[in-house]
Structure 1
Amino acid sequence: MLVAFALTPMGVKESVAEYVAEAVKIVRESGLPNRSDSMYTMIEGEWDEVMSVIRRATEAVALKAPRVQVSIKVDVWPAMPAPLDNKIALLEQHVAATEGG
């Protein structure tokens, strides 16, 4: 299962990096495969372990911000091993195929 989530601290200044940094640290320390970009953090794992990490990350941000919005998108694809890397690899194969011809 692959989960993309975003935490949005509300009622804070325009840049939220300092608030989100602790959440990303929790994700990285979880030991689950993960990747962060400018809008989302993605975690690969089973329901309970992924949701536990998201809960802890949200709680960490909530200690510093008066309000936190959480957006979660889940991709359940049991036949896809290591979706964090393999979904992109599959996409790149298709892009390469379109460039050849």
Structure 2
Amino acid sequence: MAPSGGGSDSVGEIVAEAVRVVRESGLPHETTSMFTTIEAETWDEGMEVVKRAVAAVQARAPRVSLVLKADIRPGHTGQLSAKVERINQALEG
């Protein structure tokens, strides 16, 4: 999510509002320098968090750009860490 139109190149404080929404959701999540990833049991649960995060940014910026990527794999949970663990195991082997 990237706010724009606020008159400054620094958007960290505004983006933090979106991350706050994600953290308060209680869903498994990970924030990196460029993206925040969430894991939800259902599409609706995940999209509700995205919707609230966008609203939080819109409250402080006149324009919001959003990149959304979904990996829909019913019956699988804990993949935020499991995928990384599989890569690490492959690197060690």
Q: Given the two structures, how large is their TM-score scaled by the length of structure 2? A: 0.91
Q: Who is 1:4 aligned against? A: none
Which residue number corresponds to residue 19 of structure 1? 14
The equivalent position to 1:71 in structure 2, one of 63, 67, 71, is 67
Query: Aligned partners of 2:76, 2:60: CA distance in 1, in Å?
Result: 37
Matched, 1:43 2:13: no
Query: 1:79, CA displacement in angstroms?
Result: 5.2
Unaligned runs of 5+ residues in structure 1 are 1-6
What percentage of aligned pairs have identical amino acids?
45
Higher relative contact order (CA 8 A, sep 6+): 1
Which residue number in structure 2 is paired with residue 8 of structure 1? 2
Task: Please give the secondary structure, in 2, of the residue aligned with 1:9.
Answer: strand
Cα offset, 1:75, TM superposition: 1.1
**RMSD (CA atoms):** 1.1
| Greater strand content | 1
| TM-superposition CA deviations, 1:76-96 (whole Å, max 9, x none) | 233543111101001111111
What do the CA deviations read for 1:10-46 (whole angstroms, capped 9, x no partner)? 1131111110111111100101001101000000012
Aligned position for 1:28:
23
Partners of 2:14 and 2:87 lie apart in 1 by 33
Q: So what's the TM-score if we normalise by structure 1?
A: 0.84
